[in-house]
Amino acid sequence: MVADVIGWGRRFGGMVVAIGVVGLAGCGEKGPPRYRLEGTVTLDGAAVPAGEVLLQPDVSRGNSGPASLAKIENGSYRTEQAAGVLGGPYLLTVTGYRPEAASGGLDDGPPLQEMLVDGYRLSVELPREASRLDVTISKEEAATGNSRGGRRKGRS
């Protein structure tokens, strides 16, 4: 009985190791090249102090792949190459806020933030190389969440 348990444990342990090795072999694949994207985000000419830029491949225009997320700090954002974009058509969504605590928060909860831009969306065409895309948002666009220009092209 004990010998059966030990034998089963050895076989099971060997299977776990084999599965782990096969799984790790798949982690070495790089996939398609990704490119750094950087730029500025302004609201009525003023830098958006903090927030996020979400970049999603536009599947409705034939692009697919991983999404990217970049933090806005003092009006600027940047993806690192490893977490960058693939190029082609993308949907860009901007969320911006003031990082200072707003009044009216709960005493023991996290500080509230003043939302400046909540889900502003823009369709862009990004080159297949490191590039720059500056996003200019008007207060009217921020209020509706949509760009008046529709589509923009990033530049190298």
Instruction: Identify the pLDDT of residue 99.
Output: 80
| Right CATH for 37-153 from 3.30.70, 2.60.40, 3.40.50, 3.30.110 | 2.60.40
What's the pLDDT score for residue 30?
74
Q: How far is C-alpha 116 from the chain's CA centre?
A: 19
Query: 21 pLDDT exceeds 80?
Result: no
DSSP assignment, residue 20? Answer: H
Average pLDDT, the chain: 80
**Both tokens of residue 72?**
């806005």
Q: How far apart are CA 66 and CA 88, in angstroms?
A: 12
pTM for the whole thing? 0.71
Q: Sorting pLDDT into bands at 50, 70 and 90, what band is 13?
A: very low
Cα 65 from Cα 56, distance rounded (Å) = 8
Average pLDDT over residues 53-78: 97
pLDDT on residue 58: 97
Q: Which two tokens stand for residue 76?
A: 């600027």
Place of tokens 């709960």: 106
Reported as a pLDDT band with limits 50, 70 and 90, residue 116 is very high
